[in-house]
Structure 1
Amino acid sequence: MALEGRHKFGYLTGEIPRLNPGDPQECVWKAEDSLLRSMLISSMELQIGKPLLYSATARDIRDAVRRLYSRCQNASRLYTLRKQVHECKQGSMDVTSYFSKMSLLWQEMDLCREIIWNCPQDGIQYSKIEEVERVYDFLTGLLS
């Protein structure tokens, strides 16, 4: 969001291509790209960002992260999130805080899944089933 808000997302996607050496704007491009690399690395956990410190461009960082953490390899993350949902209990939290915590877990799970529907009805049916499952998850941890 921060990159899109600053009109810099194109550095990651290649829409703002690297300029040729000697181009008068090359210095500006390098400065912008360096700022983006810094932002990306500083937003990552140390063990993820440290090996990427010497990437040549922000796009190289994006590509490396995409290869390593693509949705195709999210089975372990989905397992961890699913386990956290099952282990989440209201405990001393108020209901709003508990629901917010569960919602964040569900949202991250949604981001990890890549589902392609054959028709719009598939998505509608899936959403109904998922909503019921989430109600059960929520009730299971309520007042536990």
Structure 2
Amino acid sequence: MARNPRGANAAPIPPMEDSSSPYYLYPSDNPSFQLVPHVLTGSNYINWSRSITTTLLAKNKLAFINGTLLRPTEDDLLFPAWLRCNSMVVSWLRNSISAQICSSIMYIDNAHEIWSDLRDRFSQLDTARAYQLRQKIMSLTQGNDDVNTYFTNLRILWDEYRHSQPIAWCVCGTCRCNRASKWNNYQEEECSM
């Protein structure tokens, strides 16, 4: 149980006033804020989604998009706070998406539903993009670049390619199959090749 910094007999801090609560909004939080410098255009979904989740984790609002903090019933005391914070996250997401994509989610008012919709549409393996990345990886040469620049360029391509691949999840339930380790080894071998 969390300790109350006001003392043992004091009333608990309301979630809207507790800076460790996902319901807390900082005075600097506003609906016009753009979460990440590059908006979602479709083909940049993997990098964009990783940047968004990092930013929302830092702002303690990740629970609004990952489904762990679902909409409470309207008679719940936290409903107004949830509605306010969800609306803020929805605004942030809309500001971090290209105008065309934003118009396709304009009438979705739940941050988790927006996140799920974008994930379903843009996280699918794009075979053309995977092929393009493999070609870039295979044709990349050091040329006049120093080793650090060459390795950084290779790493950028490789990481995007690796994160665009389907993930081989454990199917045994107790992870005796060692499938995740085998998948990681396969990825490392691919990188070496």
TM-score normalized by the length of structure 1: 0.72
Please, which of 159, 167, 178 is the counterpart of residue 119 of structure 1?
178
Structure with greater proportional helix content = 1
1:128 Cα deviation from its structure 2 partner:
4.6
Bigger relative CO (Cα 8 Å, ≥ 6 apart): 1
Please, which of 63, 85, 88 is the counterpart of residue 116 of structure 2?
63
Counterpart residue type for residue 178 of structure 2: C
How far apart, CA to CA, are the structure 2 residues paired with 1:91 and 1:44? Answer: 36
1:82 Cα deviation from its structure 2 partner:
1.9
Q: Give the alignment's Cα RMSD to 1 decimal.
A: 2.6
Q: Does residue 78 of the first structure (1) align with residue 130 of the second (2)?
A: yes
How far apart, CA to CA, are the structure 2 residues paired with 1:95 and 1:47? Answer: 40
Counterpart residue type for residue 162 of structure 2: D
Instruction: Trace 1:9-88 onto structure 2 (pairs within 5 A).
Output: 9-71=62-124, 73-88=125-140
In the alignment, structure 1 segments of 5+ residues that lack a partner are: 134-144
Q: Does residue 103 of the first structure (1) align with residue 155 of the second (2)?
A: yes
1:38-67, CA deviations, whole angstroms, 9 ceiling, x for partnerless residues? 222333344333322331111111111122
How far apart, CA to CA, are the structure 1 residues paired with 2:153 and 2:98? Answer: 21
1:80-134, CA deviations, whole angstroms, 9 ceiling, x for partnerless residues? 322332444445543322221221111111111124275356346424522322x
Q: How has the CA–CA distance of structure 1 residues 86 and 132 changed in structure 2, closer, same or farther, with 3 Å as cutoff?
A: closer
- Compare 79-88 and 32-41 and name the one that shifted more: 79-88
Counterpart residue number, 2:60: 7
Counterpart residue type for residue 154 of structure 2: M
1:12-44, CA deviations, whole angstroms, 9 ceiling, x for partnerless residues? 122111122244432221221122122223333
- Compare 37-46 and 112-121 and name the one that shifted more: 112-121
How far apart, CA to CA, are the structure 2 residues paired with 1:58 and 1:124? Answer: 32
Q: Does residue 130 of the first structure (1) align with residue 187 of the second (2)?
A: no
> Helix, strand or coil for the counterpart of 1:65?
helix
How far apart, CA to CA, are the structure 1 residues paired with 2:145 and 2:103? Answer: 36
| Corresponding pairs, count | 132
Q: How has the CA–CA distance of structure 1 residues 95 and 45 changed in structure 2, closer, same or farther, with 3 Å as cutoff?
A: farther
In the alignment, structure 2 segments of 5+ residues that lack a partner are: 1-53, 171-176
